């Protein structure tokens, strides 16, 4: 059970958990391939990248959006659905071709929440905009 499930309040339900696209794993793969010429030294960097990716949680409940990261420490960003003003997709050419992108959620005031390298950003946008909140 992850942070999202552990942080639910009374009556709050997880609507969707979002996945990172495989492109987010490219740095880890590069470090693994570089292990051969560096006699395995970069395997530590690959392990670090893997742990970073494993620690990321993205999701939406019936009340809020949640972004959590951190291996040893924990850093979270959350936004109440009632505060969401816009949900924007940022996709470059490669992102459009491969099906990944960034989602920027703007809330009231100066608050922003950024989901990087998410798989199928259009579906993520639709999911966020279609959640009925209490």
- Is CATH 1.20.1050 correct for 14-130? no
User: Can you give the residue ranges of every domain in the chain?
Assistant: 14-130
- pLDDT at 133 > cutoff 70: no
Q: Considering the chain, what is the average pLDDT of its residues? A: 93
pTM of the model: 0.89
Report pLDDT digits (tens) over 32-84: 999 989 988 899 999 999 999 999 999 999 999 999 999 999 999 999 999 99
Cα 118 to Cα 9, 19, 62, 132: the distances in Å are 26, 6, 20, 22
Handedness of CA 67, 2, 20, 27 (dihedral sign): positive
Q: What is the rounded CA–CA span in Å between residue 14 and residue 54?
A: 19
């Amino acid at each position: 059970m992850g942070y999202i499930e552990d942080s639910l309040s009374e009556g709050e339900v997880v609507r969707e958990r979002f996945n990172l696209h495989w492109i987010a794993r490219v740095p880890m793969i590069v470090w693994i391939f570089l292990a051969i010429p560096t006699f395995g030294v970069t395997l530590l960097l690959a392990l670090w990248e893997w742990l970073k990716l494993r620690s990321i949680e993205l999701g939406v409940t019936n009340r809020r959006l949640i972004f959590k990261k951190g291996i040893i420490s924990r850093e979270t960003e959350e936004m109440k659905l009632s505060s969401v003003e816009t949900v924007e997709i940022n996709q470059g050419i490669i992102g459009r071709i491969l099906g990944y992108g960034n989602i920027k959620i703007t809330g009231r005031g100066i608050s922003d929440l950024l989901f990087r390298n998410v798989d199928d950003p259009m579906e993520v946008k639709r999911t966020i905009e279609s959640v009925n909140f209490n």
